[in-house]
Amino acid sequence: MRTIIFSILFVSCFYARVGAEEIIQKELSYNIGLVNASYAEGQSALSGKNQTEAASGSVSSISGQITYKFAPGLERSYYFSGTFPLMPNPTGSYFGGHFGSEFYFGSSSGSKVSYINSGTSIKLKPKNLYFWGLEGGLGYLVYNTETAKKTDLLLDIGANLGMLYVLNDKWRLRGILGFTRGTGVTTTTMEMKAFFGVSYFND
């Protein structure tokens, strides 16, 4: 219940801030990395004649992630992301769809921003960007126990830390580490994510 309440408050604040700011530019990222999801079933998940105790384990897979970021500012930006496995894994797989916000820090904080005033355009373009972020959304876990192949729908809340390196006006390199806790119908999960990829500007 606390996870659900926190998610509702997070969504409300998220949309309130987006509506209050001007959308300046858009950014699309494609990342490749590793996702590890540790899970533990509740007693309600017991099924089959041979399953006498709740299962636990982990699912690891090489995964891809697509992120669409918008309304960047000097201090923060907002994004939607989708995570999916790139190859089959006998232990299972994880899918995720999340929204969140990134907050920049350090001496080079801030995204590239364009200001137009009285016909004059000014562009601020830091070389290195460091950020931390918060996100929420849905996850879908596929896992195998000794008796059956199972799935669960998760409500995810997480945080991340990352860095971007600006190559030129259109391209960046992006690295990110994330931690997410998922609460599902039959399981609870701890998800660790590490991704590296490229970002493309469209401003």
Phi, psi at 3, each rounded to 5°: -65, -40
Query: What domains does the chain contain, in order, with CATH numbers?
Result: 2-202 (2.40.160.20)
Containing 69, the helix (H) or strand (E) segment is strand 56-70
Instruction: Answer for the pair 188, 40: CB distance below 8 angstroms, yes or no.
Output: yes
Instruction: Answer for the pair 86, 115: CB distance below 8 angstroms, yes or no.
Output: no
Closest CA to 97 of 195, 200, 21, 180: 180
Q: Give the strand pairing for 171-184 and 187-202.
A: antiparallel
**How far lies 11's CA from each of 5, 79, 100, 151, 157, in Å?**
10, 12, 9, 26, 11
Alpha-carbon distance 157 to 172, whole Å? 27
Alpha-carbon distance 30 to 32, whole Å? 7
The per-residue pLDDT string of the chain (203 residues; one tens digit each, 9 = 90 and over) reads 554 444 444 444 444 444 434 445 788 999 999 999 999 998 666 655 555 677 889 999 999 999 999 866 667 889 999 999 999 888 899 999 999 999 988 755 555 555 555 555 555 566 788 999 999 999 999 998 888 899 999 999 999 999 988 888 889 899 999 999 999 999 999 999 999 999 997 76
Q: Tell me if the pTM is above 0.85.
A: no
Instruction: Answer for the pair 119, 149: CB distance below 8 angstroms, yes or no.
Output: no
